[in-house]
Structure 1
């Protein structure tokens, strides 16, 4: 709901003469800035008028109004219609290759089409859209295409699930009553339960992230109903192809409503439904295989048992980016005779299988750990061997060819940890012939096998658990642990770490004063301290590899264990992974097709590509570098889902991330192939079967001219268009795709295309939150793109997206920001309409006043800063400088102009510049202003970047000094006035109206002196202007001691004053350079203040203001009793010292007139009187709400005007009117003559 429409706002006063009708009578009003404008608006309302800017928010029936939002929707529709009719976004290549900046080709990862686009899609897409719009505005030839991804298993899985529900429950289905079965919910280990209270308008759900991602309601039918579909329509989604024809067109409609500047002729969907794209992917895969970059191999991969195939990132409900974690499984043989619980296993080789990441530590084993109340099983590995492990790890083993029955664990006995305590074991590499299974209370059974081998010399956890059993007989008794299983076993030194010695775990546990195995935080710190040091600095002091560094010995010991059959390799997911089908994934050893990412020569090319790319942030570059470091072979084939068949092995499909690495090139020629139809099924001059590998090679890889039925002219045209647009300039994406899709794209570009076509830039962003909470369907904190546009309009949505954030951290879309944008944009439209309507009343001529120059400078600064932000793709900063800051500058200008009013030429430039700067973010609004209000030719989106002069930083600094000074003066004045209103007991009463504070004396010192001067000179001599760095603090302090400060005063006392000043100036110098250390400001402070005396007087409500040099004796005398303030708080550059006092009356002048006309005409009260005896016919008008002086009078005089005879239309008695006026002029002769003849002076 666009609540901004409920907010009432007063008219934005333009500071010009405006005519309004009050009760049908036109009244002339001269605005004198914001304050006066507000007075006139108040008069207008009191007379029953309605402001133009309030008409949109008025609502006669009392209901909430959406008029402002609806106005933006209307403007949006008009602009989009105009754009579509003019085909402004259809991009055609120029002649020849483009020069730098002449073209801009940006793209975005096509979204998956199993639902509607949401604000998360729009957020990432907005970064591309804003950047493309900026380059279009600057005159670049811009290509922004958009495709739709349908490859993979989610659509097929959902369609099949829907078919099963209809088969089981009917059409429409009648589902069984819902059961509150929390065990059926999908857990999510990445999110802790939130203890915070939920807002009353928010729905709190127990569903996890996995449930949210898949919409994991119990039934697929209910998910489809959530899209607002009828029962009849839902049934059609049993056919996967219906998803492909239903959701992509809806997404296209939503993106058009969003205002996306897309060339829709180039859109396409993936899968073999689009025969042209299908041919493109087949060519790509064939070429990779020919280059030896696609191989068939046995590899560990994340695998969905339910789906019966590998589960890549895009197939996961949770656990994106999770990789297989490899362990070494140590076979710890149980020594016969077996206890009763294991009798059924006699004749078998029974092992407790412990998973370890540190095989080099096996020399130091003293025992084995089990979880007393943990559940274990004895699982058959082959005909002779049995592993005792958890059921979860047994399932992983079964998919790694370590089960007698492949993919099905066979449990011969169910056991608990208590059943295993005391088992005698023979463990490989251990110096102890026999070790025992002992209880450990902190084992996690969702990691490893639930069996842990103990090395207390190097593992803090093992050390503390063993110490607990050694030192606590009651603990041994509780778990039936016999003394001989524990007490004879001592810590065995096996690794020497220089920092910790040869018993690192013991030393660190003692140093950290860890009390028991339950002290989790300290144990985590102990592990952090020892594990890395052990690997990088440790040296083996035991075993076959004695004397070798640990990092050298580790792989050798691992291979020794595996070679002897004392251990096997075992893998499991690093973290929990849930497939979109709802099952927990395992790691499987599968024989399938892989792309050989990570191969040394290929990786070298990928690294080179990354080095030459613009990643827009160090964090993004680090993410790519990290991924290139670990990425290895990638399973590229699937047996289930939608997509393109692997050309040479058609039982498999190309998986969804492997058909999506080079399609940016496909955009460049898609319109030639598909004739504007996203499915590639329109009649075209090219047939799909004509797109042979030779044709693709010719177009994309400078291959020889193919023998083809396609006309040579068309082939050449496609090739030239590809060469014009490629390489693409930027690809915008969420940061989660760095670890797969984006890195895959780098690899494939370097393999398939020549170097001059490699990508130029990737820009990544964080995820989007809504109102500071994670966006989630399950909690109701969710918005589709369509809903956002309907609620706020496209431009307000885009405004809030730009304001949400730009970095790799998660951004925040705030509904209040979107609502405020509705109000801001519509108010700005109303204000500009007012300005244009009253244009003739604006001050003419070129900009000439101080306020004019400041405002013009702020416009130039806004242009330059916004340009810089757009170029860096920092759109929040662009919004700040190009809209927020510019608005503030305009408002300050209006206030500064006062009665003189604003300059017509400058306001015209402001409106022009502001419209252009906001165009990339709010293009519909900009188009309306450009064409309908400013009456400009052409389109705003192609209007060109505004020309700006060089910003004057000195003028900006001077204005900041002025504004800051006014703020400080106002605070001081308020403090003095409020202090005088609350006198202490026995003190003088508060001042009367006659001696109100009306005079301001501003004392200025334009040169640093005293200890501040000395500090600055010391800093100047110790500052490196090129590096913007200072000498060490010790040298600066020594220099201070050697200056006059130390000789003439107590250095320590003065140092307390110096240090804060020095810190401030050092920070300032690091930011702005050596000018921050100058002894004077770069502008004359007295000149600035004197030039703006009227503004200061008006803003502070004073009658008289003087700017005085502090070292002038006569000036100091004017401070009177306040002179002591100048010594206590002396002024210095950037800081004035101000005093305020009441003005004494020099005289009282009473004018008594015979003929004064008082009028109360149509609600406007006027007094008319003659001011010049020689021109009796001339009269002046003073409106009572004004504070303008009636005539030049002596300083500080009380003027009383009365009359002996009153002429009033309503015959009301004229009240005595008096007021105090400041005047710097002497009494003119005509007024003195007037006083003698027509009035009399009273003392």
Structure 2
């Protein structure tokens, strides 16, 4: 670590510990990490972006709370510990080689708490190296006894309000752990959703042949079933009836409330050409298909070639071999955009060759989506929209024709952190959060309406999640965590105990001093709800705790990843609405994009990560910070690439050198007013961007914008002059503007500039409107654009120029510019121009000029067009006064003329803000 970084960390050790004060507060939180492995650069972005916001708000004069804790409940560390204890080479390799855990410590990882202790300390150490301005007094882990009391209090309230109920529901379940699992417990498939299939039961004599489908309404169009000839199926007694299905399907149904007994095996080949029947489609044959997956559904598939591209192509493949030529698609759904047989129409339009074509999966989804969203079944099948017919036919099958539900994941692989496969299991006697309750959903929607969501487009995703969210299994039998207060045989699962901990942060440092047994539910009732008269704590302590809670709450913004909208971020709104009064509901959330490494998604388990500590060591904390907040806006995905990070390091070096060179500048120059005005604009734009959490845009303004301004400023300085007092003052402002982004560098420069205290607490710069000079800025813009045009022309001519002549547009062309700039469109602009007497008498010349000026107006930035039209600069005077500069730049004589006073043929093309240029 650089000496400068060490010095800052020492000065910051307790600097960000914050208490209530007589000024505005700003409370922001980030999803606390699960410390089961080393931090990578993706984690860095998650915590550095909020730190930039925290530092900015602190410099704005607010009392800023940025706390941190560690989430250790559930089974992840237990699973890791078990795999290490069993000698799992992949896990041991990950921790030894990727995370570089010393061997003597790794040997102790057979105890899950050793993992927690080691990595929670590592997280804190690396977070501090990043310069995160966290109040570490409030740190806790989610198995602290005081925190468990807080969770017990929360669940007691939820239970009393009927928000926690007992029942039987399908859940993600790990047979190895004998436990329901949540997304945080998974190595793979953490976004998998449970999908309800309908088992359509066909009969082969007295034997049931089940097919799992999401489209029961298509039963009327079934022409055949598919089985895989090379597969061995099983005979099984299921709930007393004899079934034939795949062995995998039988195992799944055994977890879903069915009595399953395997009684024998059946070769797939023996089923081919057998005929089965169903009352809604009659008798159909069983045909061979290699695409059938025994691990999907029942391993037997019903075929609807009129509406399923896969089925249509498979039938077509067989018929090309001269087999089963009598089978024809049976259409039953009409849908706009497709022909009589939608699957055939889609397949032929897409040019699908055979069932091995990889595009058929995408095509299948397109047809299914089209039929579901706007399809309608034929009149003879009821004539209803597909979305209505689907539920009605499923209910009919359940009631009359022996169908049952079967639950599967919408993704194939769901793996527990213990390494075992996860299945869907129907759990009985399980406690669930009643997220399906319509009244609770309405409360949540009301809270969301009052929240600021960044970016705004995620609001639709939150609303969608609230609508589809079903009851959530909130307890389990094993793992770390808090026992359910009224049923201690259960433990609250990790996503369910991490919903309102933002409130706990406000008093966490005080609760550490109070024995857990004294933290009765009545204590929390008083602190958080202002209710009751608890006796286990003295009145002064209670008042202090409640006062601090009310000072900070509600939180202002919560930062977290977009993949948590479907669970944690929505869950916490549910719980806030159930526990806290309206005035204490969350105010806002900022949703992050994902992290990539060289274009690929980061994954610790797959080894595709760049450790944050390695990045800090190689590039320095400020370089890492600047790249992570400046490469994309927080809600956009970012891509870590070492070569781009290296260029960021050079940018910081340029900034440092500029401050060192400019800090002692004295005197004044003509260009000072322009630089001073530009600086006010940069302050204003940077501030606006940070208020909107646009960290990339803020950095563009605060770093690259000012750097570009300084480049032009230096270019405009007289020979031998390196700067002035304005440059010196800019240095002091620039350091403050960049302090939230690169605080280590800025702290060192702040002291080097002779300032007192820490720049972390210096006042944020405010734009001084009296120093804004639009005329001066516009004049320099004209000059800069003219220089750029001259340089472009010079590149096109083979000879060295001997002179440059600039022709400025006459007043009547400026009048056309003003009219066109203020018009709504080209037509109205041309009409208004021709109504101007002075312009109209110029005839064809005015018409041609209007066309050219209209093109120019459309090409220039709208704000610049407005300024040109309003300020009415004297372009001749501006360019004439800059003639010495231009002659120095290009090394030849420069003359400035009014276009109408010249007979040169090029003079007539001069336009407002775009002089005609003649190089000879």
User: Normalization by structure 2: what TM-score?
Assistant: 0.92
Kindly indicate whether the alpha-carbon contact (under 8 Å) linking 2:228 and 2:290 is maintained by their aligned counterparts in 1: yes
C-alpha distance in 2, partners of 1:598/1:805?
37
Matching of residue 944 in structure 1 with residue 771 in structure 2: no
Kindly indicate whether the alpha-carbon contact (under 8 Å) linking 2:96 and 2:103 is maintained by their aligned counterparts in 1: no
Deviations 1:981-1013 (A, max 9, x none): xxxxxxxxxxxxxxx63422111115574xx98
Distance 1:366 1:954, change over 3 A: farther
Distance 1:510 1:252, change over 3 A: closer
Kindly indicate whether the alpha-carbon contact (under 8 Å) linking 1:331 and 1:428 is maintained by their aligned counterparts in 2: no
Deviations 1:702-736 (A, max 9, x none): 2122122x110010000010000000011111111
Find the counterpart in structure 1 of residue 706 from structure 2. Answer: 886
Find the counterpart in structure 1 of residue 135 from structure 2. Answer: 263
SS in structure 2 opposite 1:114? coil
Q: 1:801 aligns with which of 624, 628, 646?
A: 628
Report the Cα offset of residue 834 of structure 1: 4.0
Find the counterpart in structure 2 of residue 698 from structure 1. Answer: 526
Find the counterpart in structure 2 of residue 644 from structure 1. Answer: 482
Q: Which segment is superposed worse, 241-250 or 493-502?
A: 493-502
Q: 1:863 aligns with which of 678, 683, 690?
A: 683
SS in structure 2 opposite 1:720? helix
Kindly indicate whether the alpha-carbon contact (under 8 Å) linking 1:371 and 1:441 is maintained by their aligned counterparts in 2: yes
C-alpha distance in 1, partners of 2:645/2:353?
54
Query: Where in structure 2 are the equivalents of 1:203-352 lying within 5 Å?
Result: 217-220=89-92, 223-224=95-96, 226-271=98-143, 274-335=144-205, 349-352=206-209
Distance 1:118 1:465, change over 3 A: closer
Matching of residue 904 in structure 1 with residue 724 in structure 2: yes
Find the counterpart in structure 1 of residue 567 from structure 2. Answer: 740
Distance 1:104 1:1109, change over 3 A: same
C-alpha distance in 2, partners of 1:292/1:890?
64
Q: 2:805 aligns with which of 1001, 1015, 1020?
A: 1001
Query: Where in structure 2 are the equivalents of 1:434-583 lying within 5 Å?
Result: 434-440=283-289, 442-470=291-319, 472=320, 474-476=321-323, 487=326, 489-497=327-335, 503-506=341-344, 521=359, 524-525=362-363, 528-529=366-367, 531-533=369-371, 535-543=373-381, 546-575=382-411, 576-583=413-420
Deviations 1:804-826 (A, max 9, x none): 21243311234344434444434
Kindly indicate whether the alpha-carbon contact (under 8 Å) linking 2:880 and 2:896 is maintained by their aligned counterparts in 1: yes
C-alpha distance in 1, partners of 2:194/2:159?
25
C-alpha distance in 2, partners of 1:1015/1:882?
33
Kindly indicate whether the alpha-carbon contact (under 8 Å) linking 1:493 and 1:541 is maintained by their aligned counterparts in 2: no
Report the Cα offset of residue 504 of structure 1: 4.1
Find the counterpart in structure 2 of residue 32 from structure 1. Answer: none
C-alpha distance in 2, partners of 1:94/1:378?
73
Q: 2:251 aligns with which of 387, 392, 395?
A: 395
Distance 1:562 1:268, change over 3 A: same
Matching of residue 91 in structure 1 with residue 12 in structure 2: no
Matching of residue 1134 in structure 1 with residue 918 in structure 2: no
Find the counterpart in structure 1 of residue 878 from structure 2. Answer: 1088
Report the Cα offset of residue 700 of structure 1: 0.5
Matching of residue 421 in structure 1 with residue 272 in structure 2: yes
Find the counterpart in structure 2 of residue 1108 from structure 1. Answer: 897
Find the counterpart in structure 2 of residue 731 from structure 1. Answer: 558
C-alpha distance in 1, partners of 2:815/2:284?
78
Kindly indicate whether the alpha-carbon contact (under 8 Å) linking 2:163 and 2:434 is maintained by their aligned counterparts in 1: yes
Distance 1:268 1:1082, change over 3 A: farther
Find the counterpart in structure 2 of residue 346 from structure 1. Answer: none
Distance 1:461 1:404, change over 3 A: closer
Find the counterpart in structure 2 of residue 1238 from structure 1. Answer: none
Report the Cα offset of residue 765 of structure 1: 1.0
C-alpha distance in 2, partners of 1:227/1:585?
26
| Higher helix proportion (structure 1 or 2) | 2
Deviations 1:1185-1209 (A, max 9, x none): xxxxxxxxxxxxxxxxxxxxxxxxx
Report the Cα offset of residue 525 of structure 1: 4.1
Find the counterpart in structure 1 of residue 82 from structure 2. Answer: 160
Task: Specify every segment of 5 or more residues in structure 1 that has no aligned partner in the other structure, as ranges.
Answer: 1-69, 166-215, 336-348, 477-482, 675-683, 981-995, 1024-1029, 1117-1122, 1142-1243
Deviations 1:729-782 (A, max 9, x none): 111111111111111111111101111111111111112223444334467653
C-alpha distance in 2, partners of 1:289/1:1058?
74
Report the Cα offset of residue 76 of structure 1: 1.6
C-alpha distance in 2, partners of 1:411/1:264?
62
SS in structure 2 opposite 1:906? helix
Q: 2:783 aligns with which of 941, 959, 962?
A: 962
Report the Cα offset of residue 468 of structure 1: 4.7
Matching of residue 875 in structure 1 with residue 713 in structure 2: no
User: Normalization by structure 1: what TM-score?
Assistant: 0.69
Deviations 1:1034-1066 (A, max 9, x none): x99999999999x98899xx99x9889756634
Task: Specify every segment of 5 or more residues in structure 2 that has no aligned partner in the other structure, as ranges.
Answer: none
Distance 1:1059 1:532, change over 3 A: farther
C-alpha distance in 1, partners of 2:353/2:107?
63
Find the counterpart in structure 2 of residue 599 from structure 1. Answer: 437
Query: Where in structure 2 are the equivalents of 1:778-789 lying within 5 Å?
Result: 781-789=608-616
Kindly indicate whether the alpha-carbon contact (under 8 Å) linking 1:395 and 1:586 is maintained by their aligned counterparts in 2: no
SS in structure 2 opposite 1:997? coil
Kindly indicate whether the alpha-carbon contact (under 8 Å) linking 2:527 and 2:545 is maintained by their aligned counterparts in 1: yes
Report the Cα offset of residue 524 of structure 1: 4.5
SS in structure 1 opposite 2:563? helix
SS in structure 2 opposite 1:615? strand
Deviations 1:428-460 (A, max 9, x none): 311x3x111123454455533332222334334
Q: Which segment is superposed worse, 688-697 or 224-233?
A: 224-233
Report the Cα offset of residue 938 of structure 1: 2.2
C-alpha distance in 1, partners of 2:79/2:911?
75
SS in structure 2 opposite 1:248? helix
SS in structure 1 opposite 2:803? strand
Report the Cα offset of residue 973 of structure 1: 3.1
Find the counterpart in structure 2 of residue 125 from structure 1. Answer: 47
Q: 2:740 aligns with which of 911, 920, 923?
A: 920
SS in structure 1 opposite 2:900? coil
C-alpha distance in 1, partners of 2:864/2:807?
28
C-alpha distance in 2, partners of 1:1058/1:559?
71
SS in structure 2 opposite 1:571? strand
Kindly indicate whether the alpha-carbon contact (under 8 Å) linking 1:276 and 1:673 is maintained by their aligned counterparts in 2: yes
Kindly indicate whether the alpha-carbon contact (under 8 Å) linking 1:145 and 1:266 is maintained by their aligned counterparts in 2: yes
Q: How many residue pairs were aligned?
A: 914
C-alpha distance in 2, partners of 1:422/1:649?
55
Find the counterpart in structure 1 of residue 889 from structure 2. Answer: 1099
C-alpha distance in 1, partners of 2:697/2:244?
60
Matching of residue 654 in structure 1 with residue 492 in structure 2: yes
Report the Cα offset of residue 531 of structure 1: 4.6
C-alpha distance in 1, partners of 2:765/2:329?
76
Deviations 1:1108-1163 (A, max 9, x none): 111114xx4xxxxxx34435xx221232222234xxxxxxxxxxxxxxxxxxxxxx
Find the counterpart in structure 1 of residue 424 from structure 2. Answer: 587
Q: 2:660 aligns with which of 833, 853, 857?
A: 833
